[in-house]
Amino acid sequence: MTLNEVVIFIAAVVIAPFIGGFLSGIDRKLTAFIQGRYGPPIWQPFYDVIKLLYKQKLLVNDFQVFSAYMYLLSAILSVGLFALKADLLMILFIMSVGLVFYIAGALSTKSPYSQVGAQRELMQMLAYEPMLIFFVISVYNVTGSFNLAQIMTHGRLILDLPLMFLLLGLVLTIKLKKSPFDLSASEHAHQELVRGILTDYSGPYLALIHIADWYEMILILAMIAILWSQNLVIGALIALATFFMDIVIDNITARMTVKWMLAFSWSISILFTIINIAYIYFRR
């Protein structure tokens, strides 16, 4: 690792949560606007996280602490490796390891809400992990490489992979736990499961999980952005448009069931992947 790479890694790791928090602030403001409310200030997510960091520590068991830190660490690592243009498959696996700890931490407590939330988060992983793997496979079909540096030499991947771009938008919706996929944590104070997977994470550890969520959001947005790597400003604009589309979808849909989510996401992802890979072959 050269000095230059270390600087890029640290810069990405420091800047990513600020962008993530800012985006989730915009999310809350925009949601309020769509619902006809005034809404919280744009810096609200930062106030929330700082407040949580300095609340009293209430623990159910020590494993929760470990799993919250592991989730944050893996999210940081995956964003940092993405900035270093490492292997796309490795980044996905590192991200999944963190999520497994996140779920194990929720399963380690006896609260039934936490348990049900963790089971549903597992189902959500089952819904979007194949999509991400299919995305990487189709990228490999076009570029012949899993390495990000080599992938980014192909300027306009979105023209080759239009359906995979739609799938990534779907992954973003599931990952951000937006309607119709807000199954595991009951966003927006719906409270059918109290707070689902987050029920027993409290105080500073909840703050760590919020920060890790911001990193993961940035990671998925960055994956969308590299679809137009010829000019990354346009790529970022495409990613932002997808994000705003997800907020609109969140506000116009109701929550669906886990079974529906699995059937929908698997059928859509398999169908889109086959069509898209066939399209790539026929274009050659």
Partner 1 sequence: MGLKEFIEKSFKKSPWVLHYNCSSCNGCDIEILACMTPLYDMERFGMVNVGNPKHADILVVTGTVNTRNKEILKNIYDQMPDPKVVVAVGVCAATGGVFREAYNVIGGIDKVIPVDVYVPGCPAKPEAIIDGLYKATEILKEKYEKMGKAEEVLK
Binders of partner 1 among 161-190, rule CB under 8 A? 186, 189
- The footprint of partner 1 on this chain (CB under 8 A) covers a number of residues equal to 31
Q: Which one among 1, 4, 14, 36 touches partner 1, defined by CB under 8 A? A: 36
| Interface pattern 123-152 for partner 1 (x via CB under 8 A) | ------------------------------
Interaction between residue 110 and partner 1 (CB under 8 A): no
Interaction between residue 14 and partner 1 (CB under 8 A): no
Closest CA relative to residue 200, chosen from 99, 95, 59? 59
Q: Which one among 15, 50, 237, 271 touches partner 1, defined by CB under 8 A? A: 50
Interaction between residue 61 and partner 1 (CB under 8 A): no
Q: Which one among 8, 13, 42, 46 touches partner 1, defined by CB under 8 A? A: 46
Binders of partner 1 among 190-209, rule CB under 8 A? 191, 194-195, 198-200, 202-203, 206
Binding residues for partner 1, rule: CB under 8 A, are 28, 32, 35-41, 44, 46-48, 50-51, 54-58, 186, 189, 191, 194-195, 198-200, 202-203, 206
